[in-house]
């Protein structure tokens, strides 16, 4: 029996089509990883392609690891020659060899988000940029977006023209890039940008990699941005054996620069491309897929496809609406506990939500009910203070040009080297055109350091000692010696006794990570290096911390959940204004709303057997009580596959009555232009007003106000709405307004400054 006999017909067609451009439209759960790995095996075994000539590229370490394992199992001998990698890891490998052509040292440092924030603060300080007007986060976001579009400082400055604000940003961008290069450092966007620059400007290197990678496969192609598209195009430019796999319905990373046009316009870029659709889903039940299909077909900017399954009908989709977010969280926690008592495992359950802020109430309920859980997307392990300190030592030992790393540890633990001395070292280094570490190596040449010179000498001698040890010791021994020689743990105990134990455990975990890295290298017949370790930890993503063998409930945002699957999925906060978000509703932007709908589709298709949708009539957001309608995405799901009745009789839960839901859904379906709320009358988009009004409306205007109950008013932020209630509250009136796009809000009249329209 052939290994290809277990593939369905479209999957076999995708595996056997090996020459020329190929677009595989792979719906959620349709076995795309199986297709890619079998295609690699077919190229080697049946077409005689050398493993050396194959590149398989994806987005996360988790996905790359899974693909690597499957390829090894299928191919056997020679599999190690295949590049199975994330975009960023592949670029690092290329840059480690050739970045000197761009004027960098090959031992460059990779800056994480915290490093970038520190650097942009320095840039703003040096260039007199007012951070009240130009927030550091905004500057980094604009710079990142520019890099994703391959817009470098010269072009950005040219595009700024006479716009003062854009000129300021251009100046910050230019200085930020100059600082990175001076520190021999790259940020994550640079890993892609510099690789494209290298391939674009160095014909011999481009030719080398085009010959090396004659067959290229790209997973999750819908998530690629402009610079990734350019990278793939350059690598595949000679042989054009480019296979891209993706699902435009799962394109949810526009905020990171993903360009959905890359997959939608693939056939325009490659007119001779073969297109194959994978529509059979192996993950979910029929009801879950019917819900997903019903939601996503409301999008116009998509390629037509419909998921189907042979898994059976399955349970109906459970829908529950509660009075408050606390009731919602209580229901989810209780339901998980009940299912575990009936034999399910905690790890079978995942709670997905639109915003990180929603996790707090869920955490409280889980803790109260002793439910083990893990939040994916919280504080990254490598962003913790003690871990960044140890890594800064390692970065300084590996790359003395990284000024940020040197300055972080020069007085950690405390050595009596104050900020004034640090500033004088920096000034001297800048005046002499050298790096911070190089300047402190000769403290006698730094004006004004005085008695601190001996302390600088001691610090430099310590780093030089560690550099020597790095050539002789294992990585784990080096980290252990750094901790001992600096008395780091003793200082933790002295400075922060309450948190010291937790921080020590984190340091122990870092040592374990280093040991595991060295073991992995030994298994591959390689020698672990300090630079290799720093590279590996720099490329770790939040999702890589998820251990699927541990028995805990997973809490995560919908964006973090893509690529995962769980037996029972809860989609919490299914409310207009929360999901879809307020901005997607009020901006009157079809593309924004369609991106939110794709996110809903991703959430639904994470479920294998059970899907529960929950929402709350009122929820506290940023200290303000919001009254929200049930999400329009819920309204797009057929009523006949929804279970809106009492789920467990013993629970004190009051779900929305079935006839109320159906009446509201019918109102939603029949109103004009169902896909767009902004600008519609209140009675057209008030699907659940009967459930949400807390009092009878008065019939006459209240004294002292220019408007009354029933009047139309305008708010500077929320737009137009209808006054539902006015109550006297001491020195001010409390006004309840149902806004056309922002839902129901309570506010004091003095601050709301509502204007009658």
Spatial separation of the C-alpha atoms in residues 308 and 279, rounded to whole Å? 6
Spatial separation of the C-alpha atoms in residues 17 and 35, rounded to whole Å? 11
Q: Cβ distance 561 to 352 under 8 Å?
A: yes
Q: Which of 60, 86, 226, 250 is catalytic?
A: 250
Element (H, E) at 111: none
Spatial separation of the C-alpha atoms in residues 267 and 269, rounded to whole Å? 5
Residue with structure tokens 């817009």? 151
Q: Which of 219, 223, 327, 740 is catalytic?
A: 219
Element (H, E) at 566: strand 566-571
Peptide bond connecting 510 to the previous residue in cis, omega within 30 degrees of 0: no
Q: Which of 62, 230, 503, 606 is catalytic?
A: 606
Whether 219 is catalytic is: yes
Burial class (CB in 10 A: 0-12, 13-18, 19+), 670: exposed
Q: Which of 220, 386, 535, 536 is catalytic?
A: 220
Whether 606 is catalytic is: yes
Can you say how many angstroms the Cα of residue 264 is from the centroid of all Cα atoms in its chain? Answer: 22
Alpha-carbon distances of 325 from 330, 384, 502, 629, rounded to whole Å: 9, 31, 32, 13
Burial class (CB in 10 A: 0-12, 13-18, 19+), 461: exposed
Whether 32 is catalytic is: yes
Can you say how many angstroms the Cα of residue 389 is from the centroid of all Cα atoms in its chain? Answer: 25
Whether 250 is catalytic is: yes
Whether 220 is catalytic is: yes
Spatial separation of the C-alpha atoms in residues 550 and 544, rounded to whole Å? 14
Number of H helices, E strands in the chain: 33, 21
Look up residue 244 and give its DSSP letter: E
For 353, the token pair is 């939500």
Whether 680 is catalytic is: no
Please list, residue by residue across 711-725, b when 16 or more beta carbons sit within 10 angstroms of its beta carbon and e when fewer do: bbbbbeebebbbbbb
Alpha-carbon distances of 37 from 14, 33, 54, 68, rounded to whole Å: 11, 6, 11, 9
215-218 and 83-86 strand pairing? unpaired
317-324 and 642-643 strand pairing? parallel
* 226-235 helix and 188-201 helix, angle to the nearest 10 degrees: 40
607-621 and 624-627 strand pairing? antiparallel
* Cα radius of gyration rounded to whole Å, the chain: 29
Alpha-carbon distances of 266 from 55, 239, 248, rounded to whole Å: 19, 17, 11
For 297, the token pair is 């077909």
Q: Which of 11, 12, 33, 609 is catalytic?
A: 33
For 456, the token pair is 């600088």
For 719, the token pair is 């737009």
Segments in 399-452 forming alpha helices (H) = 403-409, 419-432, 436-440
Give the helix, strand, coil percentages of the chain, each rounded to 5. 50, 15, 35
Q: Cβ distance 27 to 249 under 8 Å?
A: yes
Report, as residue numbers or ranges, the catalytic residues.
Answer: 32-33, 219-220, 250, 606
């Amino acid at each position: 029996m052939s290994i290809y006999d277990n593939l369905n017909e479209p999957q076999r067609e995708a595996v056997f089509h090996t020459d020329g451009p190929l677009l595989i439209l792979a719906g959620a759960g349709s076995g795309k990883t199986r297709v890619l790995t079998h295609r690699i095996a077919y190229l080697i075994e049946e077409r005689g392609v050398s493993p050396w000539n194959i590149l398989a590229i994806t987005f996360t370490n988790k996905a790359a690891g899974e693909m690597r394992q499957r390829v090894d199992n299928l191919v056997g001998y020679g599999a190690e020659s295949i590049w199975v990698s994330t975009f960023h890891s592949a670029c690092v490998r290329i840059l480690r060899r050739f970045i000197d052509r761009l004027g960098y040292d090959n031992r460059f440092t990779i800056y994480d988000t915290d490093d970038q924030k520190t650097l942009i603060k320095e840039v703003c300080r040096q260039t007199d940029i007012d951070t009240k007007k130009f927030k550091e986060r905004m500057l980094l976001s604009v710079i990142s977006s520019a890099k994703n579009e391959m817009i470098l400082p010269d072009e950005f400055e040219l595009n700024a023209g006479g716009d003062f604000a854009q000129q300021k940003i251009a100046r910050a961008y230019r200085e930020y890039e100059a600082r990175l290069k001076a520190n021999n450092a790259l940020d994550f966007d640079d890993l892609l940008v510099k690789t494209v620059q290298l391939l674009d400007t160095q014909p011999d290197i481009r030719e080398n990699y085009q010959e090396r990678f004659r067959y290229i496969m790209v997973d999750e192609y819908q998530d690629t941005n402009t610079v990734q598209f350019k990278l793939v195009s350059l690598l595949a430019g000679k042989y054009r054996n480019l296979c891209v796999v993706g699902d435009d319905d799962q394109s949810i990373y526009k905020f990171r620069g993903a360009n959905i046009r890359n997959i939608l316009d693939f056939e325009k870029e490659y007119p001779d491309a073969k297109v194959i659709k994978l529509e059979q889903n192996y993950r979910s039940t029929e009801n879950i897929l019917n819900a997903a299909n019903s939601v996503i077909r409301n999008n116009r900017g998509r390629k037509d496809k419909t998921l189907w399954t042979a898994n059976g009908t399955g349970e109906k989709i459970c829908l529950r609406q509660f009075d408050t977010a606390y009731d919602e969280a209580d229901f989810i926690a209780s339901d998980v506990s009940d299912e575990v008592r009936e034999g399910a495992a905690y790890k079978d359950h995942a709670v997905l939500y639109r915003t990180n802020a929603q996790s707090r109430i869920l955490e409280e309920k889980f803790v109260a009910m002793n439910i083990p859980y893990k939040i994916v997307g919280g504080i990254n392990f490598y962003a913790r203070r003690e871990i960044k300190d140890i890594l800064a030592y390692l970065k300084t030992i590996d790359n003395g040009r990284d000024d940020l790393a040197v300055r972080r540890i020069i007085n950690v633990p405390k050595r009596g080297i104050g900020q004034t001395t640090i500033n004088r070292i920096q000034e001297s280094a800048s005046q002499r055109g050298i790096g911070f570490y190089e300047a402190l190596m000769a403290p006698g040449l730094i004006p004004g350091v005085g008695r601190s010179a001996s302390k600088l000498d001691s610090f430099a001698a310590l780093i030089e000692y560690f550099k020597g040890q790095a050539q002789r010791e294992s990585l784990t021994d080096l980290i252990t010696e750094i901790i001992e020689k600096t008395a780091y743990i003793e200082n933790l105990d002295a400075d922060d006794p309450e948190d010291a134990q937790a921080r020590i455990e984190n340091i122990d975990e870092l040592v374990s990570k280093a040991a595991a890295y060295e073991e992995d290298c030994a298994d591959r017949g390689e020698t672990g290096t300090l630079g290799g370790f720093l590279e590996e930890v720099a490329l770790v993503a939040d999702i890589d911390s998820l251990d699927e063998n541990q028995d805990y409930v997973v809490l995560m945002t919908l964006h973090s959940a893509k690529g995962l699957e769980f037996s029972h999925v809860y989609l919490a906060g299914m409310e207009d204004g929360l999901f879809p978000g307020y901005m997607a509703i009020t901006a009157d932007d079809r593309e924004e709303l369609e991106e939110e709908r794709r996110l809903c589709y991703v959430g639904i298709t994470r479920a294998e057997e059970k899907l529960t949708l929950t929402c709350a009539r009122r929820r506290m957001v940023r200290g303000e009580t919001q009254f929200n309608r049930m999400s329009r995405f819920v309204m797009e799901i057929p009523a006949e596959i929804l279970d809106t009745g009492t789920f467990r009789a013993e629970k004190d839960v009051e779900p929305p009555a079935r006839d109320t839901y159906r009446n509201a859904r019918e109102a939603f379906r029949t109103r004009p232009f169902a896909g767009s709320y902004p600008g519609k009358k209140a009675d057209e988009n008030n699907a659940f007003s009967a459930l949400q009004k807390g009092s009878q409306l008065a019939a006459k205007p209240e004294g002292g106000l220019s408007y009354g109950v029933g009047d139309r008013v305008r708010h500077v932020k929320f737009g137009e709405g209808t006054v539902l209630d006015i109550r006297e509250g001491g020195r001010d009136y409390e006004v309840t307004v149902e806004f056309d796009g922002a839902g129901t809000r309570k506010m004091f009249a003095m601050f709301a400054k509502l204007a009658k329209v």
